Structure 1
Amino acid sequence: MYPRSFSHIGLSVPDLDKAVEFYRDVLGLYVIMGPTEVVEDDSDIGIMCTDVLGAGWNRLRIAHLATSDRIGLELFEFDGNRPPEENLDFRRHGTFHFAIQDPDVEGLTAKIVAAGGRQRMPIREYFPGEKPYRMVYVEDPFGIVFELYSHSYELTYSAGAYD
């Protein structure tokens, strides 16, 4: 048994063009494939989407971006999309959040807020006065919650962050 590599995460957004702009211009992700329309038909991609979404999905728009360490961000704008009743339904099973790493947590948080996002909490230190590990939960302009880390996941937790 061995650990697998993380490939990508898919997010549903209300406006694909604005989401590509945010994730490219604010978070600095690379655009691999710009916004593209996919329709429910008998093409390979149409059949694959029907396999996943079921019949009647009609159309969607999709874009692919990537982080500097080659992790993909797949953005979807589904036909007839709607916001969740609660954007951080932490008791619901499923995806809770994802995290982005940047040594300038404070600066990136300010850019996110200036671009229409939200800071959900104060920036916290894991080892105050000992190590410069910081984190904060934020939201993109569409209400998707994610976390910013100043250091890698391994560095942050291998030192016993909760001891």
Structure 2
Amino acid sequence: MSNYPRTFSHIGISVPDVDKSVEFYKEVMGWYLIMKPTVIHEESDSAIGQMCIDVFGTGWGSFKIAHMSTGDRIGVEMFEFENNEKPQGFEYWKTSTFHFCVQDPDIEGLVQKIVEHGGKQRMPIREYYPGEKPYRMCYVEDPFGLIFEVYSHSYELTYSMGAY
């Protein structure tokens, strides 16, 4: 078997309200809604029901899910579980996915739009190579507590020469 770089398909995020999250990401990020919010019930008679039992075990009851897509065709699955809880602080040290990153050459404009729609700017916009290259980044938070990052340039450009 050949060792080659796999492409990224999608990320699943847990949100407190799928409908509000879809509206935020549609309005702020321009993401496409490719499957409207749908309720999935715990049962083993359908493929999706059985898959969810395989992943979550039993006792989860039901959840709501929506599927969105970014401009570069990366999928974003949004899950709203009945017993969802907002994280108590930013537990970055715990083994998990602790952020995703989006890219926009108008980083200031996107960060401002996130804040105008109820999100937070968690830090100043910073340069990786101050005075040398225009690569900038900023951590933000959506209105529901999900933390993510915004880059002005691609991941490859940002890190190809070593950022630190």
TM-score, normalization: structure 2?
0.95
Give the gaps of 5 or more residues in structure 1: none
Which residue matches 1:89? 91
Shift of 1:85: 2.0
Match of 1:141 among 140, 143, 148: 143
In structure 2, what is the Cα distance between the partners aligned to 1:92 and 1:148? Answer: 22
| RMSD across aligned positions (CA) | 0.8
Counterpart contact for 2:87–2:145, Cα < 8 Å:
no
Q: Which moved more, 1:76-85 or 1:135-144?
A: 76-85
Give the gaps of 5 or more residues in structure 2: none
Aligned length: 161
TM-score, normalization: structure 1?
0.96
Shift of 1:35: 0.5
Match of 1:44 among 47, 72, 89: 47
Between the two proteins, what is the percent identity of the paired residues?
65
1:67 paired to 2:70: yes
In structure 2, what is the Cα distance between the partners aligned to 1:97 and 1:11? Answer: 10
Secondary structure at the aligned position of 2:134 is classed as coil
In structure 1, what is the Cα distance between the partners aligned to 2:121 and 2:21? Answer: 17
4+ runs of 1 displaced by more than 2 Å?
Answer: none
Q: Deviations over 1:10-40 (max 9, x none)?
A: 0000000000001111011111111011111
Secondary structure at the aligned position of 1:64 is classed as strand
Shift of 1:9: 0.5
In structure 1, what is the Cα distance between the partners aligned to 2:94 and 2:63? Answer: 25
In structure 2, what is the Cα distance between the partners aligned to 1:4 and 1:77? Answer: 28
Which residue matches 1:12? 14
